Amino acid sequence: MIIKAKLFISSLLFLFLSLPVWAVDDHPAGLLTVSGYVKDAESGEALIGATISIKELNTGTSANQYGFYSLSLKSAKYLLEFRYMGYQTIQKTIELSKNISLNIELVPEENKIEEVVIKADRPEANVKKAEMSISKLEMKTIKQVPALMGEVDVLKVIQMMPGVQSTSEGTSGFSVRGGGVDQNLILLDEATVYNASHMMGFFSVFNNDAVRDVKLYKGDIPANYGGRLSSVLDVRMKEGNNKKFAATGGIGLISSRLTLEGPIVNEKTSFLIAGRRTYADLFFPLMSDSSLKKSKLYFYDLNLKVNHQINERNRLFLSAYTGRDRFGQKGSSDAGFGNLTGTLRWNHQISNKIFSNLSAIIAKYDYSLKMKQGGSNYVWNSNMLDYTLKLDFNFFPNPQNEIKFGLSSTYHDFDPCDAYIEGERSHLGVPVAKNYALEHGLYISNEQKIGEKLTIKYGLRYTIFQNIGSATIYTFAKGYPNYTVVDTTYYASGKIFHTYMGLEPRFGMNYTFNEQSSIKASFSRTIQNMQLASNSSGGMPLDVWFPSSPNIKPQKANQYAIGYFKNFANNTIETSVETYYKQLYDIIDFKDNAQLLMNPRMEGDIRSGTAKAYGLELFVKKNDGRLNGWISYTLSKVERTIAEINNGNPYPASYDKPNNINVVLNYEFSRRVILSSNWVYATGAPVTFPVGSYVIDNTYGKYYSARNGYRMRDYHRLDLSLTIKGKEHPGKKWESEWVFSIYNAYARHNDWMINFVQDSKDVTKVVAERWYLPFVCFPGITYNFKF
Amino acid sequence: MKNIKTQIIILSVFILSVIAVSCTENIDDIRLDSTRPRLVVEGYISTDTTRQMVRLSKMGDALKKNPIEVVSNALITISDGTITFGLTEDQTIKGTYYTAPDVFGVVGRNYTLNIKNVDVNNDQVMEEYTAQSLLKGLNPIDSIHVVYNTSNNFDKGWSVNLYTMDPGQGRNFYLIKVLKNNRLLTDSIFKYSIGDNNSFEGKYYDGFPVYDLREDRLDERLTHGDTITLELYGINEDYYSFISSYISDYNPKIPIFSGPSANIPSNIKPFDDAVGIFAAYSIKRKSVIYK
């Protein structure tokens, strides 16, 4: 392993050191370069993933995450075609006799077709691109899906993709191909969002008006991403309109939002600022109930972005997010939690073939709770903080190869629990010690076209994870059911006392049969060093992250996937069949009755083992026409085996729902009136039910089945929404729409949890209680506007 | 002791907010399997000089559709390795066994419970069950204070504050029971208050609030002249884990807060054939008249 690592690092160093050579020698072998940016003609926003085809060579490339593309070709005349979903295609003829810089602006399809624009076939990117196991969502699509209380939510739409399961009704937590909620890396402009939930997960932290692009990698995770086993959700904020001032907003039942964007220096510098806040609490003082009068319950988000084009080759971006939930009662309790992220990026075009990005990132999640009881103020604070420095390169040597490489380094600072009674701080001290770690990643990958039909991708990521002092590490004697502390080691501040290293190969291929069909396969190995101390079925505000350590090995996964992709009707109907098999090693779970909060010896409650997940995903999507939408079906299984849990027998993970169907359909009655619906079906979640009972000291006790030996009833729900847009007039700047929605339209009482409790009327009896969320036939209304 | 209390109190902020937005309905048609019979043991030995008790029964069906079946005619002993006490079955309350009235436990001794002559699984073969429990010590309670407070609407009432020294020498675990005018208020496990000495090892509990009496509960409401008695139990980790898990399991499971349901840990062997607890503990008491 060490030899491989040295080889890998040496190769990367060679690449870095060679950069100046490439930068000077711009056209080896007589190749010339056409490069530039692909942007939205109205806002100047980069169009991530826009495709650029060379008609004569039947090859091409795609724009990177900043909209940059580069093609190195022999000197000749070429017809280039620029395409992006939802935009009019542009063809440009170029005479390549020297290096050319060519920036292209695409016009949204709903706008008037201009002379230079031709209406071409829809992009067939889903067939032609080598990447698979990806869900890319357009914001227009997300906004059409009916939502709880009319609050459109990226994460709720993600949960309707094949291979993605909601972990529990209403929550933002999701499971991807049998992975846990902790195994998803959620990024907002490259910064990790450790808890993407508002209000216990009923809403997510993403304000749709500020989001430009959403991409979920379910398996074929590129080598430039690392740190989680199962998925990467890459959310990119808008850059801000650099051509004109624009405002977007909405007024809903529980919240309102407003986004302002515009140029600071025309087409050079732009800004975006977006805010959202719920306001149910503003009405509490008007209530007659004295408890409600004193109640506090709200959340807010604030997104900010500024970008500045220094010159053709250099751009700076600054983006930030802060959001917070607050609830409690005035004078007695106050709780809050939230994320803070900040990213400063420098895009630098080293040459026409080499694009670089340097990012400095900060990510913080914290919660704080205060409650007055018995005359004392109980206080509990927790936070985690990351500082990351990241350098990425895209190298386009020729149309057949696109090489990416880079490195990143993150400093993790964990403060899992600082609990005390106010005024008695010296008594209580710090019950759970702080943790520190360094996480480094180096990667290189290439996407290579071999002939006209075959594209292969290969990459390697090398991860180094280091625990740093000061730290207290316990040594446990393993017993059953409990581990006992037999030794305690203290490490001094700044000392690296433990290191994990790992190689993560990634491979993918695409064989294109013709313009409409292809077969793809992929393999990825992923390693996860950040662990989540939660054994609940969904994320909760009190979740605490902690690092791999001498006691806890990194989790690892190997995923194999193969898929067939076929488009019909001029690419308006996309279909796919994917199947996957995933092996997971050193996954963590928690012993029975584990204590995860305020437990300095929590590592002694962790048990590790293996898991396997496999499944089949069917997907049909109709992109155009009055009736559009998608249907997905997932058949899957995920099973864990951990020696000291469930007597060592395999048990289904709590998010194992073998059958999952999602139907999203939109019907456009006219340009102004759209009816949208979604129907969700999933096999009932596994649960552990009692199979025996007893009474000790007047209290009912339960004896349980094997872990997750039962299932809840199957889950299904229909949501509807009707969008009515305002009338359009030539020259009218104000655009508006009303959205009326109904969540759970046929009022099903889906099982949220089932509890067994002593009958309040007859304490000698026990009754089974179904708990369900009150969102039955729940209406929502939102007024959206932009100008 | 503060940690567990803080945890419960603060979690309740979240849990209450979730319970507030959920609805419930009874399920009449739920079908649950049954499991093979197991012995249920509830046995204690304390530093009080009294009739020490062991209660035996059989595990019933999950929904308690049938009455609890007690286990009679068992041969039970409690031994500290030197002295062995025999227990005899109460003739009026079947399944309950007592020592002689002059028996008491001694701090530092490891007690062994032995149960014979029972055939819980009805296979005509007599079974034997055992359990061990270390009796841990306590320092005397110097005093208790009862203080009225009005922290918020739903727990307005009195806190019982404790003054005592933690014995130190490692982790210590406490169980608190409260009597009002000699009537036990903590008459069920889910009403118990428990804690450990995390951050208090060998330190003084200087008026630490250990139990809350709520004004909105008739049996807990105080008037001048009421006598409040606090019983402080020095328990071991097994009993602490048992109570902690029992309370967690008794409370509703909420998906976003709860892990998978799990059996309450037991120290009765064989582990797979029995549930319950055998606990040795020391007790200190202090009373105060509320003025």
> What's residue A372's pLDDT?
72
Record: contact A707-B260, CB cut-off 8 A? yes
Work out the minimum CA distance from B147 to partner chain A, whole angstroms. Answer: 8
By the 8 A CB rule, do B133 and B111 touch? Answer: yes
Name the residue among A421, A654, A756 with its Cβ closest to that of B62: A756
Per-residue confidence (pLDDT) for residue A759, from 0 to 100: 75
Question: Which CATH architecture describes the domain A2-84+86-121?
Answer: Sandwich (2.60)
Chain B residues with beta carbon closer than 8 angstroms to that of A327: 13, 17
Nearest to A200 among B11, B190, B256 (CB): B256
Per-residue pLDDT at A14: 57
* Chain B, nearest residue to A651 by Cα: B260
CATH topology of domain A235-786: Maltoporin; Chain A (2.40.170)
The beta strands (E) that lie in A120-159 are given as 134-137
pLDDT in tens, A133-169: 888 887 878 888 887 777 788 898 999 999 999 888 8
Residue of chain B minimizing CA distance to A201: B256
CATH number of A134-234: 2.170.130.10
Q: Is B209 within 8 Å of A540 when comparing Cβ atoms?
A: no
Which among A213, A15, A174, A130 has a CA at the least distance from the CA of A506? A130
Domain B39-134, architecture per CATH: Sandwich (2.60)
Q: What is the pLDDT of residue B181?
A: 95
CA distance A142 to A154: 6
Question: Is B267's Cβ below 8 Å from some Cβ in A?
Answer: no
B33, amino acid identity: D
Q: Quick check: A688 and B149 CB within 8 A?
A: no
Q: Which residue of B has its CA nearest to A647?
A: B272
Q: What is the distance in angstroms between the Cα of B244 and the nearest Cα belonging to chain A?
A: 9
B25–A772 CB contact, under 8 Å: yes
Residue B114 has pLDDT above 50, yes or no: yes
Q: Map out the domains of chain A as residue ranges.
A: 2-84+86-121, 134-234, 235-786
| Separation CA A241–CA B206 (nearest Å) | 62
Strands B227-235, A651-652: pairing kind: unpaired
Q: Is B150 on the interface with A (CB under 8 A)?
A: no
- The structure tokens 């009432």 sit at B157
Contact B262 A704 (CB under 8 A): yes
Among the partner residues A331, A702, A707, nearest to B152 by beta-carbon distance:
A331
Cα dihedral sign for B246, B248, B252, B254? negative
How many CB contacts within 8 angstroms connect chain A with chain B? 260
Query: Dihedrals φ, ψ of B46, to 5°?
Result: -125, 175
Residue A426: closest C-alpha in chain B: B199
Cβ partners under 8 Å of residue A536, min gap 6: B255, B256, B257, B258, B259
- pLDDT averages per 10-residue partition of chain A, 787 residues: 56 54 53 89 87 84 89 89 87 89 86 41 68 82 80 88 87 90 94 88 88 91 95 94 92 91 90 92 71 79 95 93 88 86 95 93 91 72 94 91 95 87 58 88 95 92 96 88 88 95 96 92 96 69 85 96 92 93 94 79 90 97 90 96 92 94 94 93 93 89 92 94 87 88 92 83 80 85 92
Assign B19 a pLDDT band (cuts: 50, 70, 90).
low
B52 and A CB contact within 8 Å: no
Query: Which residues in chain B have their CB less than 8 angstroms from residue A541's CB?
Result: 14
A273-310 per-residue burial string, b: 16 or more CB within 10 A, e: under 16? bbbbbbeeeeebeeeeeeeeebbebbbbbbbbbbbbbe
Whether A699 and B250 lie within 8 Å, measured CB to CB: yes
Q: Which of A703, A769, A778 to mutate to test the interface with B (most CBs of B within 10 A)?
A: A703
Inspect the interface and report whether the beta carbons of A696 and B277 lie closer than 8 Å: yes
Q: Does B276 touch chain A (CB under 8 A)?
A: yes
Boundaries of every domain in chain B: 39-134, 138-262+283-289
Residue A233 has what pLDDT? 96
Between the alpha carbon of residue A140 and those of residues A44, A208, A623, the distances in Å are 18, 10, 12
Q: Is A469 helix (H, G, I), strand (E, B) or coil?
A: coil
Of residues A229, A83, A249, A232, the one with CA closest to residue A556:
A229
- pLDDT at A115 (0 to 100): 38
Contact B261 A688 (CB under 8 A): yes
